[in-house]
Amino acid sequence: MNFGNTCFMNSVIQCLIGTKPLTRYFMCGDWKKDFIQASPAYANVTSEYAQVVENMWRGQYGFVSPKDFRQAIADCSEQFRGNDQEDAHEFASFLLDTLHETLNRRHPRPPPECDMTVEEELDFENLDDKQQSDLQWNRFIRRNDSVITNIFQGQIQSRLMCMACRHTSTTYHTFTELSLPIPVSDNNFSELGDANGPPMPNHQPSSNMPINIYQCLEAYAETEVLDGENKWMCPQCKVKRPATKKLMISRLPLVLIVHLKRFSTVGHFREKLSTNVLIPTINLTLQNYVTSSIAQEPTTYNLYAVANHYGTMSSGHYTASVSDALLPIFYFLFVHNHDK
């Protein structure tokens, strides 16, 4: 039940509680074995979240009003302390971060590893994608191993390539949600396709025409050219060179969280994009956006939850839609609709 401007919080709670692997972990009591109470405020958020899960799934109440959980959040985060409407995606990031930190099995954490030397970086570039990805993932889980890691976290490969000598520099970072841009241009758009397949290449929609989520994925994975003031200092050429930058998914999570970036900045102002995005409820395939090292692994997801915002930048309301179907591999989505 909402109280005050808490729909942003409640929509996220519903989506997370509809995430069966996470809810099963709390309902079985496994979280108590991993629980870290080093920071009382953050620990209280986790214990109160566990109580909300318990209350919602035991079926003792016709509705649940998570006031104690709300207070625990306020005690822990100044951003969510007042009564203002907040962004559900930012709240989800905060909550998942808190759950990860308080349920991290790597406690106490070992010190971070040293950065690679120049020679080690050159050796690293000679490894294939799978070897690189596994090496960096193992470095990450050496210090991070929680239920959030197991369920929600994946890995992105970022590769720079010199356009003169083709030398590469590859880095990897972990993600908990995939934030996708919404491509908008003034070009005419003639072939939309549907939610179940990618559009024809090089077709960009105007701001008032619907697109599908594959166009957002294409925009995310589009090769970026670094030139002019953004030229790359190539380690092999020893001078600044034009280069390309490419993002690919190198490790897929069990549950994929997708966030559509609805806000754009124009001068000193932010505006909300009103473009409708078509989304498949089954068989969202990421085959075209993963590295070759995982291309043979399952890359298809089914939608089970949506956190949806209706309104404008200054006002609106969040709702959540959650399926209780038992799907093998799934994703949930943050959507912002625009009132007409």
Catalytic residue check, 317: yes
Which of the following is catalytic: 107, 167, 317, 338?
A: 317
Q: How many CB atoms neighbour CB 231 within 10 A?
A: 15
Catalytic residue check, 7: yes
d(CA 288, CA 158): 15
Alpha helices in 195-240 (DSSP H): 213-221
- How many helices (H) and strands (E) the chain has is answered by 10, 16
Read off φ and ψ for residue 244, nearest 5 degrees.
-110, 150
Contact 23, 17 (CB under 8 A): yes
d(CA 75, CA 62): 28
Which of the following is catalytic: 7, 76, 162, 234?
A: 7
Exposed/middle/buried for residue 133 (C-beta within 10 Å: 0-12, 13-18, 19+): buried
Active site residues: 7, 317
